[in-house]
């Protein structure tokens, strides 16, 4: 599906583009420049045929260029050659015309266009290029096949909404550059061919022809380069940087994306947050005034643990108020066996309160349970409070709760749940439990998002920014049986964590012993070792992470050892960084807001591919360029590479069988 259609400002705002262009033989004006003041002028216009309407011998042709639309007219009283050419035109044909600007008749004025009061009768016409029938409509935002919009991206970009997004993206990066330059930042480019290092995602590797058997890596981020710039005495750096990670695509992630990379010396976490906040306010004020900020400036600061406990995720959508309540303590002595066993096992029981939904039908309630199961929950109990009653006679029977659990959960227990969650008699309470809290909270977070969309809890055209702080520095990875950084290994620990690590190094010189002690500590208290990391979140997305950075080789090596890197690997992959830190590296910090996700939030777009000019498919393919594609045997020879076809996945072999370059040689 295409992105939601937006009002193309360039078609309605006369000041959106400069009204003059460098005139030449192709055009004297662009197609968004002519107004009633131009009546009587002889003009030359060029562009694409946008629409054609035949009104009984009078042809109305809407001409489109990058800037806008102008209506052309050709009546059957025109010279036969001119009228025949106009009759033969097809959509998306490229033409050049000359004519004299005239007023439109009052009943044909279009107030939605800058040029809506004029038209240009065609005096001469040249067809500069014809067009094959497009695979989807260009002149409207009707649904189109997603793969076709990528394969024919050059056509898709002609549409009003995609073009408006590309234009707005350019304005956004221009304003970012202006803002940061005024703040004293300088823009520095860092290499795209760099060194492979264990930073989280899988690297894209580039084989070296000059050094057979050795590879460059495309940068997952300029992280190490920008820290080295701080060592080099640069005070404030930024870059609109490309970042490439060999990971599966999803709605908010592509293998290559663009980020605003910034770093500055002698920075504390709050300095970095304040800078980003000021930037967001500037972008909103200048480019996105039609969007409502539902969180006020200064934006909320939520702790990581609060987000997990209250919303089930560290990137909650705060545009709607649907919190997860911990009601475990209310069921320590329940007669409901399932909940009693959950509490006994050390699990938790949580509740969501859907405001003013007590009157949902039984079918709607059953559908809620199905939605909960699809969200990953093992089950869900809905509960409806009894209606308010004014009867006060001693013989009056107390109204009963209606619930999916029948009478297994008592009225008294439900009453306590209602009190703790501050629900009213008009609300619907949803309850779920599990022996392990983490997956329960994750599933409730998914359900929370489903409910928000299903019941229209999200205000339209809105963004809710917030900062999440107090992230754990390290977390136990049970699958790999090691400690992992929650973000990356260059994050500076918080003050108390620094003291803990310093003491640990003194009491346990052996890195393996240090890791063992910390593992025990973190398994009992995941927040025992916090970091200076923060995240900027909006509308359920993480827009960026930032932090103060480690700037001494001793601490950096200690963290690398704690996450399982051997000294030999550290020296092989990070000697350049550790060596630099020994030459007086200053304290520093920074962040890297994603340009793509930032645009998604401000423009209310749900898929990242719709804010990228040339995106990949979900499987990482560029259907327009037909990439990735197999190298030629000569290229492999130059790089001293050989592909192990015996161990390729079957679907890859089938793909190669269809490839002309390889078919005869391999099969």
Is 156 within a domain?
Answer: no
Per DSSP, the three-state class of 622 is: strand
Which one-letter DSSP state was computed for residue 586?
P
Does residue 178 sit in the same domain as residue 251? Answer: yes
- CATH code, domain with 473: 3.30.930.10
Is 73 within a domain?
Answer: yes
Both tokens of 314, joined, read 């560290």
**How high is the pLDDT of residue 196?**
86
**How high is the pLDDT of residue 659?**
63
Looking at the 3D structure of the chain, how many domains does it have? 5
pLDDT tens digits for range 150-197: 999 999 999 999 999 999 999 999 999 999 999 999 999 999 999 987
Does residue 582 sit in the same domain as residue 650? Answer: no
Is 155 within a domain?
Answer: no
Is 308 within a domain?
Answer: no
Does residue 435 sit in the same domain as residue 350? Answer: yes
Does residue 582 sit in the same domain as residue 546? Answer: yes
Is 310 within a domain?
Answer: no
Residue 617 and residue 623: Cα distance in Å, rounded?
Answer: 8
The parent domain of residue 73 ranges over 8-129
Is 362 within a domain?
Answer: yes
Does residue 523 sit in the same domain as residue 483? Answer: yes
Which one, of 140, 6, 5, 151, lies nearest residue 614 by Cα?
151
Does residue 370 sit in the same domain as residue 242? Answer: no
- CATH code, domain with 57: 2.40.50.140
pLDDT band at 76 (very low <50, low <70, confident <90, very high): confident
Q: What is the DSSP string of 377-436?
A: -S--EEEEPPPP-----TTPPPPPPEETTTTSS-HHHHHHHHHHHT--TT-EEEEEEESS
Is 581 within a domain?
Answer: yes
Orientation of helix 553-562 relative to helix 567-581, angle to 10°? 160
Is 314 within a domain?
Answer: no
Q: Are 532 and 547 in contact (CB under 8 A)?
A: yes
Tell me what the pLDDT averaged over the chain comes to: 92
Both tokens of 522, joined, read 């973190």
Does residue 62 sit in the same domain as residue 102? Answer: yes
Does residue 470 sit in the same domain as residue 447? Answer: no
Domain boundary among 129, 148, 173: 129
pLDDT band at 666 (very low <50, low <70, confident <90, very high): very low
Does residue 578 sit in the same domain as residue 605? Answer: no
Both tokens of 30, joined, read 């662009």
User: Residue 496 class from Cβ within 10 Å (0-12 exposed, 13-18 middle, 19+ buried)?
Assistant: exposed
**How high is the pLDDT of residue 667?**
41
Does residue 565 sit in the same domain as residue 602? Answer: no
Phi, psi of 615 (to 5 degrees): -85, 170
Measured on CA atoms in the order 85, 90, 91, 95, is the torsion positive or negative? negative
* Residue reference for tokens 């380069």: 225
Residue 404 and residue 387: Cα distance in Å, rounded?
Answer: 17
pTM for this model (two decimals): 0.91
Give me the residues paired with residue 74 across strands. 59
Residue 203 and residue 180: Cα distance in Å, rounded?
Answer: 30
Does residue 423 sit in the same domain as residue 478? Answer: no
């Amino acid at each position: 599906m295409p992105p939601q259609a937006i009002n193309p400002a360039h078609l309605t705002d006369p000041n959106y583009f400069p009204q003059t262009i460098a005139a030449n033989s192709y055009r004297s004006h662009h197609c968004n420049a002519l107004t009633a003041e131009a009546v009587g002028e002889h003009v030359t216009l060029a562009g694409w045929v946008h629409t054609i309407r035949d009104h009984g011998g009078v042809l109305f042709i809407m001409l489109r260029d990058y800037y806008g639309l102008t209506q052309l007219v050709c009546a059957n009283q025109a010279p036969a050659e001119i009228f025949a050419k106009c009759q033969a035109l097809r959509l998306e044909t490229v033409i050049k015309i000359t004519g004299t600007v005239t007023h439109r008749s009052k009943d044909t004025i279009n107030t939605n266009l800058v040029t809506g009061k004029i038209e240009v009768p065609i005096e001469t016409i040249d067809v500069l290029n014809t067009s094959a029938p497009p695979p989807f409509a260009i002149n409207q935002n009707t649904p189109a096949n997603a793969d076709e919009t990528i394969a024919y991206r050059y056509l898709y970009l002609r549409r009003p909404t995609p073009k408006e997004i590309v234009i707005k993206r350019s304005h956004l990066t221009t304003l970012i550059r202006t803002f940061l330059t005024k703040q004293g930042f300088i823009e520095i480019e860092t290499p795209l061919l760099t060194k492979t290092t264990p930073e989280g995602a899988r690297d894209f590797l580039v084989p070296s022809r000059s050094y057979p058997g050795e590879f460059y890596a495309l940068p997952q981020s300029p992280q190490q380069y920008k820290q080295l710039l701080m060592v080099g005495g640069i005070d404030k750096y930024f870059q609109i940087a490309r970042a490439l990670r060999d990971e599966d695509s999803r709605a908010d992630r592509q293998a290559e994306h663009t980020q605003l990379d910034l770093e500055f010396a002698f920075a504390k976490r709050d300095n970095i947050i304040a800078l980003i906040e000021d930037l967001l306010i500037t972008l909103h004020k200048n480019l996105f005034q039609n969007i409502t900020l539902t969180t006020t400036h200064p934006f909320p600061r939520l702790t990581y643990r609060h987000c997990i406990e209250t919303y089930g995720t560290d990137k909650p959508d705060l545009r709607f108020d649907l919190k997860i309540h911990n009601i475990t303590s209310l069921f320590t002595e329940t007669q409901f066996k399932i909940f009693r066993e959950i509490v006994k096992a050390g699990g938790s029981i949580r509740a969501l309160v859907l405001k003013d939904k007590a009157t949902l039908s039984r079918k709607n309630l059953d559908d809620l349970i199905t939605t909960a199961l699809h969200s990953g929950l093992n089950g869900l109990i809905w509960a409806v409070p009894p209606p308010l009653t004014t009867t006060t006679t001693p013989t009056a029977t107390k109204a009963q709760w209606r619930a999916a659990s029948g009478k297994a959960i008592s009225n008294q227990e439900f009453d306590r749940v209602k009190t703790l969650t501050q629900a009213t008699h008009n609300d619907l309470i949803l309850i779920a439990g599990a022996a392990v809290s983490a997956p329960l909270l994750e599933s409730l977070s998914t359900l929370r998002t489903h409910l928000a969309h299903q019941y229209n809890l999200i205000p339209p055209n809105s963004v809710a920014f917030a900062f999440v702080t107090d992230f754990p520095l390290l977390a136990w990875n049970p699958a790999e049986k090691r400690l992992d950084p929650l973000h990356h290994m260059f994050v500076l620990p918080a003050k108390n964590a620094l003291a803990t690590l310093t003491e640990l190094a003194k009491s346990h010189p052996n890195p393996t012993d240090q890791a063992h002690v910390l593992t025990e500590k973190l398994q009992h208290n995941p927040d025992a070792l916090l970091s200076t990391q923060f995240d900027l979140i909006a509308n359920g997305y993480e827009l960026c992470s930032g932090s103060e950075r480690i700037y001494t080789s001793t601490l950096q090596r200690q963290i690398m050892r704690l996450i399982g890197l051997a000294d030999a690997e550290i020296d092989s992959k990070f000697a350049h960084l550790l060596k630099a830190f020994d030459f007086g590296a200053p304290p520093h910090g920074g962040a890297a807001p994603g340009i793509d996700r930032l645009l998604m939030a401000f423009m209310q777009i749900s898929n990242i591919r719709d804010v990228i000019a040339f995106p990949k498919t979900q499987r990482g393919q560029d259907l327009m360029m037909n990439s990735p594609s197999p190298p030629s045997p000569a290229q492999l020879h130059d790089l001293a590479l050989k592909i192990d076809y015996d161990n390729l996945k079957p679907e890859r072999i089938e793909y190669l069988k269809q490839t002309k370059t390889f078919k005869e040689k391999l099969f």
